[in-house]
Amino acid sequence: MEESCLLWLLVVTSLLSGCTHQASLKISPHRSQLFVGEFVSLRCEEDDSSDGLTVTRNTSKDTRSPCGAGWGTKDGSDCNISFIFPSDSGVYWCESTGGAASSSINITVTGGAVILQSPVLPVMEGDDVTLTCTTETSNLSADFYKDGSFIRTEPTGHMTIHHVSRSDEGLYKCNIISDGESPPSWITVTEKPASPSSPSAPSPPPVPVWSMVLAILSSLFSLVPLVLLVLEVRRLTNRKPKGIYLPVSMEMAPPTQAEQGLADEYDDVMAAVTTEHHL
């Protein structure tokens, strides 16, 4: 129960203390999980801040406590902890005299034999993240979990998440069968900043109205010869040919000599018949 309450305290305090970013906090060794008894150095790096910076923390036993007030040794912007205990677990950040705060770091100190090495600061979308399950002496085969669910087993104790996204954000831990389980660590994934848009091409200068009119008239005049040609072709196509068309009977070929003789004999016979009829 205490571990669960401390975890939520770390997460909530981390969000609250990381609202303003005028400085950054560095930790050595560069891990968010530490073994009992390790030497830890915390350093505030200024970022255009004229105020003095002090390492400050929230833990289960103190709130907004500056370095030197019952814990750590202050050395300028540095704060050194010569022998760290589980009670030193909490959220650490840099704070100026004006109240401005840096991004925060969650530190977990364990009395166990296994820790999970994870990114100290939030990671950006698209980056690769490597988690390492380790003991004080070596890296062994380890099982990795996210939000209490088993992910996979890595024989070397290293697990890499490629191209992280917001769905990879969560609480991670690892387990080495022979040595035990690590404390959980929260991994925050931040949105990748949008790439600056490429400068747009300069817009062309406005075209004067009279230039547009001249361009239109020029286009129309260039079409006149084509229109005249089309009209002439249509006129020639539809024109009727001159001349007199003879009837079909007049256009027949002249009769041959035999046909003409038969016609003459026919006329003679008809004349004789007609004469006899009258007599």
Could you please report the per-residue DSSP string of 156-174? TSEEEE-S--GGG-EEEEE
pLDDT at 198 over 60: no
Q: What is the number of residues in the chain?
A: 279
- Phi, psi of 35, deg, nearest 5: -85, 150
Please state, in angstroms and rounded to a whole number, the distance separating the CA atoms of residues 200 and 113: 58
Amino acid 136: pLDDT: 86
pLDDT at 15 over 60: no
Contact (CB, 8 A) for 95 and 54 = yes
pLDDT tens digits for range 228-279: 777 777 777 776 555 544 444 444 555 555 556 555 655 664 555 455 444 4
3-state secondary structure of 262: helix
Per-residue pLDDT, averaged over 80-102, amounts to: 91
Looking at per-residue pLDDT, the higher value among 23 and 278 belongs to 23
Report which of 218, 200, 142 is spatially closest to residue 174, judged by C-alpha positions: 142
User: How many Cβ atoms sit within 10 Å of the Cβ of residue 140?
Assistant: 17
Residues whose CB falls within 8 Å of the CB of residue 97, separated by 6 or more in sequence, listed in order: 51, 52, 54
Per-residue pLDDT, averaged over 223-230, amounts to: 69
pLDDT tens digits for range 35-78: 999 999 999 887 555 467 899 999 998 999 999 999 999 988 89
Per-residue pLDDT, averaged over 97-116, amounts to: 90
Q: CA torsion angle for 147, 151, 153, 154 (degrees, to 10)?
A: -90
Contact (CB, 8 A) for 67 and 81 = no
pTM: 0.60
Please state, in angstroms and rounded to a whole number, the distance separating the CA atoms of residues 248 and 251: 5
Domains and CATH numbers, the chain: 1-111 (2.60.40.10), 113-191 (2.60.40.10)
- Phi, psi of 129, deg, nearest 5: -125, 130
Amino acid 102: pLDDT: 84
49 CA to centre of own chain: 34
Contact (CB, 8 A) for 129 and 123 = yes
Per-residue pLDDT, averaged over 156-165, amounts to: 96
